[in-house]
Structure 1
């Protein structure tokens, strides 16, 4: 039986394949883009705008910074305490068009030795957790390889 794919946070990302994107919002007044999305008011302190449009964010960006997580985070982070802890890599990615930096995990198999500041990376779907009925979906950043779209 196939497990249901459920986003860990509804409304933050969606799509399949090349259409997989993080979802932000853009203020109609000042053009500022926000992620995570904002649906009530413009977060720009110099703007009083309240009209926001949903926008897909860029799929590619450049590594701004990165680090590894070598410890098991405390609750509410979801992990099986019976399983051996597996370190993970966090990547801060600059999206030039949106003028923002978005944090996310690196794709499985990508460690700090595989990354460099300024390296181009792309957004890919990932699994944060799973159980017998669900795959809890998130996003990951993966280095762009030659010839990749």
Structure 2
């Protein structure tokens, strides 16, 4: 499997998303913008759910490259403490169990599990051990 975009996450055993820290202001964003104004900055793997919605329609193709048989999925804004807010899929959670403020952890899921060469996208799931 390969990442949906090069340089989007680190190649550690526990990969982290790569944001960018502005050289002058220190502001952290995701993803890391091209150019010299930002330096790559590995982001935290844990955060809290800031807001969310349920994606109930199949996105336009391109750029969507997922399965033809679309199933709704939750999309959230995850606040990484002291860093930034990241948009990502939410996985391994029932729609009814999603709560603003719930602790989440980074994971990676295939965009289309049935594809011959699946592409990985970042996602967040409920943090292990969180009540």
The question of a shared fold, defined as TM-score above 0.5 by the shorter chain, is answered with: yes
> Rg: which structure is higher?
1
Deviation readout 1:127-149 (Å, 9 max, x if unpaired): 112522x12011110011327xx
**Are positions 1:57 and 2:52 aligned together?**
no
Of the three residues 24, 30, 35, the one matched with 1:40 is 35
- The count of corresponding residues between Structure 1 and Structure 2 is 128
Deviation readout 1:7-62 (Å, 9 max, x if unpaired): 11111113344x21100111232111121112315xxxxxxxx3x32110010111
2:66 is aligned to 79
- Measured in 1, the distance between the counterparts of 2:94 and 2:89 equals 10
**Are positions 1:145 and 2:128 aligned together?**
yes
CA contact 2:32–2:39 (8 Å) conserved in 1: no
**Segments of 4+ in structure 1 off by > 4 A?**
none
- Measured in 2, the distance between the counterparts of 1:16 and 1:88 equals 27
How large is the Cα RMSD of the aligned pairs?
Answer: 1.8
TM-score between both structures, scaled by the size of structure 2 = 0.87
Of the three residues 66, 71, 75, the one matched with 1:90 is 75
Distance 1:63 1:40, change over 3 A: same
Q: Which runs of 5+ in 1 are unaligned?
A: 42-49
Q: Which runs of 5+ in 2 are unaligned?
A: none
1:102 is aligned to 86
